[in-house]
C-alpha cells in the first residue's frame, strides 16, 4: 500500500519517524513529507503533498491542529482513500473539509493499527 506521512521527522524519538520505520517493516511503500528534510530513513522526503509522484492510498498525519491549515487544500486535492489523524493531530477544520470532500478518516494511531493488524 502507498502511504504518505505528513510531518515526517528524522528524529528517532518522534512518532512520525517510528511510523515510517514500521510502515516500511510491514512492506508498505512510504512517502515522507516535510520540506525540512531531503530524506528520512533512506527514503526521499517530499517538500509537499502536491509533489508526491504517485497516487497515495493512505495519508498518516503528524501535524498539530495549529499548523495544519496550510495543508488542508493539498490534502483534499491529494484525495487519498483514507486519512489517519494520529493522536495530537486531530483538527476540526481538517475533519470538516475531509467530510465535505467525502474522504474517509480515522482518529487513530498508525503504530497501534500496524501492531494490531488493523492497518
Q: Looking at the chain, how many residues does it have?
A: 119
Residue 88 has a pLDDT of 96
Q: Is the pTM of this model over 0.85?
A: yes
Measure the CA angle with vertex 69, ends 66 and 92; round to 5°. Answer: 70
Above pLDDT 70, what percent of the chain?
100
Biggest alpha carbon distance in the chain?
Answer: 36
Residues 22 and 96: their CA atoms lie apart, in Å, by 29
The single residue listed with the C-alpha cell 482513500 is 81
Above pLDDT 90, what percent of the chain?
100
> Where along the chain do its domains lie?
2-115
Q: Tens digit of pLDDT for each residue in 58-111?
A: 999 999 999 999 999 999 999 999 999 999 999 999 999 999 999 999 999 999
Class of domain 2-115: alpha beta
Residues 87 and 49: their CA atoms lie apart, in Å, by 21
CB 68 within 8 A of CB 80: no
Cβ atoms within 10 A of the Cβ of 17, count?
A: 19
Measure the CA angle with vertex 63, ends 60 and 67; round to 5°. Answer: 140
Residues 9 and 13: their CA atoms lie apart, in Å, by 9
Average pLDDT over residues 49-53: 96
Amino acid at each position: 500500500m502507498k502511504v504518505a506521512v505528513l510531518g515526517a521527522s528524522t528524529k528517532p524519538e518522534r512518532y512520525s519517524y517510528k511510523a515510517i520505520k514500521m510502515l516500511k517493516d510491514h512492506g508498505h511503500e512510504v512517502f515522507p513529507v516535510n520540506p525540512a528534510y531531503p530524506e528520512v530513513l533512506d527514503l526521499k522526503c517530499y517538500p509537499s503533498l502536491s509533489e508526491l509522484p504517485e497516487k497515495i492510498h493512505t495519508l498518516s498525519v503528524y501535524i498539530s491542529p495549529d499548523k495544519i491549515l496550510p495543508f488542508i487544500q493539498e490534502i483534499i486535492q491529494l484525495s487519498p482513500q483514507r486519512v489517519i489523524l494520529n493522536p495530537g493531530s486531530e483538527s476540526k477544520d481538517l475533519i470538516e473539509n475531509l467530510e465535505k470532500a467525502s474522504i474517509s478518516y480515522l482518529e487513530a494511531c498508525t503504530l497501534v493499527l500496524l501492531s494490531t493488524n488493523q492497518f
